[in-house]
Amino acid sequence: NLGLLAERDVALAESLAAEGQQEIFAAWDAPGTGDAEKLDFFKQIRTLDGNYPGGLGCYLRNARGLLQASAEGANPLAGWTPSVPRDTFRPEVGSEEFMAYEELGASEVGACCFVIPAGGLGERLGFHGVKLALPAELVTPSKVLEVYCAYLRAFQDLAEKKSSSRSRLPLVIMASSDTEAGIRSLLESNNYFGLEPEQVTILLQEKVAALARSDALLSMEGRYKVGTKPHGHGDIHFLLHSKGMAKRWLEEGRRWVLFFQDTNTLYLTTFLCSLGVSAKHGLRANVVAMPRKAKEAVGSIARLTHSDGKCIVANVEYNQLEPLLKATGGDGDVNGPDGFSPYPGNTNELIFSLPQYVSVLEETGGQMPEFINPKYTDASRSTFKSPTRLECMMQDFLKLLPAEEVGVTCYPLEFGYFPCKNDIATAARLAAEGTPPHGAASAEAAVYHAYAELLRRVGRTSHVAAPTARHWCGGPQLLGPAVVLWPSFAPSCAELRRRLGEVVLEEGSTLEVRGDVHLGRLTLAGALRVVAGEGATLHVPQLEVRNRGGEFVALTEAEQAGEAPEELRIRGYRYVLHEVEEIKVSEPGIYTYADGTLTRS
């Protein structure tokens, strides 16, 4: 039924038939009918072919292998024995060791590239915008991407100071057809959040072919269109390879690449230290981890030893950890005496040394280890409830490296991974079960908590009121003083220590500090915003602020039911500012604020 097709399309049809896809063509109309659709079909096949390492044939062969193993009920981790990773680096945030690593990280950061896979929609969250547009917190209220970009600008400034040359750090955002328009408009309508448009690249992640049966028959939507599904965040490696970006960065003399996800701004509060750990210990890969509660829905980092002697350090997904531990003679996924699993949690922050990253891409063509997860109709494991596809994960790059080349850096929970993924009802249920809720309220509280913790650890004899329990319709949440330290004020602990004196924050306070601000002795019971614009330095030797400040107020039922914007409904409250003291300088210069008066020196 092929009719008068171009030679290359005939060849494509033949190669598909050789891969067991004859049935597709058998269903086609006779020549002369549906010819335009047939041409579109081959166009789509060429796209699918070009978007997979090794082409569509390779995809179908890989799928057949994994589908057969799945039908036989094979355990993908058979032969592997897990153990807790050895020699995890645990720099204590704010310590001399931490700051020494940060210092090294600051010397290296000018040679780092930043990559965010952001192709995922917030379906589980009840937010219809792109997740990078979510407010990280309500006080400022900056968007997640805005915070990431503010860190990049602060890192550029640090790099410029170190090298006395202009530094522009490349940022790659991987979008999917679901998120591309939203991310582009977010960047364009916000002037790229102060970055130069040329330093930001959006790479489009394509979907892969959906499969209808265990013999990897393509799943068709009608007679001439192959159904497609997302392939997972592991696509980022193939894209950096196939678009030549990773190689270009290497040719430009860059040395590191950081991968991180789309809703956790805390990654960048400890990043300079993690980069310093990579540089000091010559780590080919460094995966950042955190304490993990047993059964928490985050992957765990484990050392895996195969019966053939091979050893890797990699992520084991939370639903695989328990069966793996039990199958290898352990008690399952249970907490140790400290109340946490001995297996640290994966934050999915990965730092690779660029030369070695590129060499692995060249060896593998960007092909990641893949998995398949068909939902079968019954125990015979022969038919699917809905079409399936191969999937891959960004962190599985670690599986391509020998264990001795992978380091793990673990920070205390306050600096861990607090994504905004779950809707308010799910968050409430998880909180009730004693599991981290991974909702908007917990993500927001984590931001304030991390910055308050920085004040406690880095400032001199600071007193920062302890968090108190609040109850929203998303469940209980510990909430402390709402502290936001912009990266231009606190790009590193060392800078923060240089700029910070003795701070006392009373319960319910709100503090936002931005720019080159030097705070001496501060007592705050209320709300304070201190901002030094670009080129300005502001000294505040002594200040006591007492005002009505701001408060978090639960939404009314009507607001929760639909009257309030989505970004509030996903958390169940709003922030109401009653009174704030604002000290702000915009023009370049050196200023001092004392006794209520601002002077320029």
When binding is defined by CB under 6 A, the residue of 91, 120, 182, 480 that contacts ligand UPG is 120
CB under 6 A: which stretch of 7-15, 228-236, 270-278, 541-549 binds ligand UPG?
A: 228-236
442 binds ligand UPG (CB under 6 A): no
φ and ψ of 305, to 5 deg: -110, 125
φ and ψ of 495, to 5 deg: -65, -40
- Give me the least distance between CB of 77 and ligand UPG, in Å please: 14
- How remote is the C-alpha of 558 from its chain's centroid? 33
CA atoms within 13 A on the CB side of 96: 0
Separation CA 456–CA 22 (nearest Å): 67
393 binds ligand UPG (CB under 6 A): yes
417 binds ligand UPG (CB under 6 A): yes
Torsion angle (degrees, nearest 10) of CA 534, 538, 544, 550: 0
Q: How many residues are listed for the chain in this entry?
A: 601
346 binds ligand UPG (CB under 6 A): yes
Render 508-554 in DSSP notation, one character per residue.
Answer: T-EEEEESEEEEEEEEEESEEEEEE-TTEEEEEEEEEEES--EEEEE
Q: Which residue number, 117 or 387, has a Cβ lying nearer to ligand UPG?
A: 117
Separation CA 72–CA 497 (nearest Å): 59
Q: Which residue number, 67 or 321, has a Cβ lying nearer to ligand UPG?
A: 321
**Number of residues engaging ligand UPG in binding (CB under 6 A):** 23
Q: Which residue number, 9 or 206, has a Cβ lying nearer to ligand UPG?
A: 206
Please list every residue from 455 through 484 that binds ligand UPG, using CB under 6 A. none
207 binds ligand UPG (CB under 6 A): no
When binding is defined by CB under 6 A, the residue of 315, 409, 422, 510 that contacts ligand UPG is 315
When binding is defined by CB under 6 A, the residue of 12, 118, 258, 450 that contacts ligand UPG is 118
341 binds ligand UPG (CB under 6 A): no
143 binds ligand UPG (CB under 6 A): no
Q: Output the furthest CA–CA distance in the chain (Å, rounded).
A: 88
Beta-bridge partner residues of 256:
112, 353
Enumerate residues 6+ apart whose C-beta is below 8 A from 70.
Answer: 214, 372, 373, 374, 381
Enumerate residues 6+ apart whose C-beta is below 8 A from 531.
Answer: 512, 513, 514, 515, 517, 582, 583, 584, 585
Q: Which residue number, 298 or 464, has a Cβ lying nearer to ligand UPG?
A: 298
- Give me the least distance between CB of 350 and ligand UPG, in Å please: 10
CB under 6 A: which stretch of 184-192, 340-348, 375-383, 508-516 binds ligand UPG?
A: 340-348
Q: Which residue number, 99 or 321, has a Cβ lying nearer to ligand UPG?
A: 321
Q: Which residue number, 151 or 224, has a Cβ lying nearer to ligand UPG?
A: 151
174 binds ligand UPG (CB under 6 A): yes
Contact 167, 8 (CB under 8 A): no
β-pairing, 341-353 vs 285-292, is antiparallel
182 binds ligand UPG (CB under 6 A): no
When binding is defined by CB under 6 A, the residue of 82, 230, 407, 491 that contacts ligand UPG is 230
117 binds ligand UPG (CB under 6 A): yes
205 binds ligand UPG (CB under 6 A): yes
Separation CA 151–CA 114 (nearest Å): 11
- Give me the least distance between CB of 261 and ligand UPG, in Å please: 4
Q: Which residue number, 177 or 386, has a Cβ lying nearer to ligand UPG?
A: 177
When binding is defined by CB under 6 A, the residue of 140, 242, 348, 367 that contacts ligand UPG is 348
Please list every residue from 259 through 288 that binds ligand UPG, using CB under 6 A. 261-262
Torsion angle (degrees, nearest 10) of CA 63, 68, 73, 75: -50
φ and ψ of 158, to 5 deg: -60, -45
Separation CA 299–CA 320 (nearest Å): 9
422 binds ligand UPG (CB under 6 A): no
388 binds ligand UPG (CB under 6 A): no
Continuous segment of H or E residues that includes residue 172: strand 171-176
Q: Which residues contact ligand UPG by CB under 6 A?
A: 117-120, 174, 176, 205, 230, 232-233, 261-262, 298-299, 315, 317, 346-348, 393, 395, 417, 421
